[in-house]
Amino acid sequence: MVCSKNSLRLKIGSLFLVALEGKTLTEEEKEALSLFGLKHFIFFSRNLGSYTETRALLQEIEALAGKGLRAIDQEGGPVCRLKPPYFPNLKAPFSLAQEKDPEKAVAKEASLCANELKRWGFNLNLAPVLDLGGEKTPSFLKGRTFGEDPKKVAVLARIYIKTFKKAGLLSCAKHFPGLGGVKNDPHYSLPVKEAIEEKDLLPFREAIKAGVPAIMTTHLLIPSWDEAPVTFSPKLVSFLRRKLHFKGLILTDDLFMGGALEMANLEEAVLRAFLSGHDLLLLCGSFQESLKVLSNFADESAKSTILLEKLFQKKDFIEKQICTLFSKSIT
């Protein structure tokens, strides 16, 4: 299989979910969209202004890149990229779970979030969080979970996912296989969890049964499962596919995070995450650094038959998945 460097660069864009620098596209970003065939983007507060400003950015991206994933972390509570006065104030998942009728509360909040995101032009919300955690959970998860009871979390996750599906928007269950009980924040270092129990997996099992279209893994080392962290572990990705029968998109968490970089530099982390079987590779840091990663990925693929074959297979899989999701879910 022979590919020129330019044509190879154009093919790798489908594998990445990339963050941009600001509220408008720079000339460098416009060139990169064309050079690497970038299609899928994640948006942070730095990219978001008023409804009019944000719609203009999304429309410009679509004009240059075509249709693709437009992702955002709009969990509610502590993690909301869009905030008042532009976007409705969303309650924290943990507080919703404490309400008198939590199922009704989650359905109402999920419906509000999904319909508003759709109106703005986003099509993928990186939620719900399915880690188990209560009032004493570490700060990086505080308020973001539905609680410690796996059965309750599973029920509320199912409602959230189905509500999004009904609204015509994609959701993403995270952080597989569960950060409940860890102390280290994966944004800064690699957490270790000696074992994953059935209670950790139950919410993800139910999310899959509910038809969740995407699952995000986490930077986590589980010595009883694998010597490699989840992000780099073919065993864990295979478990998700073969044991839990998940057929949708598998995303990494941000590969700029300290938990990913503790055992590899950024270029190595991206290659290892790709070779482990992940579909979409998440890059949320500096766009200039992301460009270096993309160039390195293209160079390494040109030198490796294994990488090149896997790239073509994965590109086809992702494009078919997204085409199916768009035709079934997004209107």
What is the rounded (10 degree) CA torsion for 234, 238, 244, 247? 110
CA distances from 259 to 62, 192, 200 (A): 32, 10, 20
- Determine the Cα–Cα distance for residues 124 and 296; give it in Å rounded to an integer: 28
What SS3 state is found at 74? strand
The alpha carbons of the chain give a radius of gyration, in whole angstroms, of 19
Active-site annotation holds for 279: no
Catalytic residue among 73, 131, 200, 253: 253
Active-site annotation holds for 187: yes
**Spatial CA neighbour of 257 closest among 63, 91, 19:** 19
Per DSSP, the residues of 230-269 read GGG-HHHHHIIIIIS---SEEE---TTSHHHHTSS-HHHH
**Spatial CA neighbour of 281 closest among 295, 291, 271:** 271
- Determine the Cα–Cα distance for residues 131 and 185; give it in Å rounded to an integer: 13
Catalytic residue among 149, 187, 226, 299: 187
Q: Which sequence positions are flagged as catalytic?
A: 187, 253
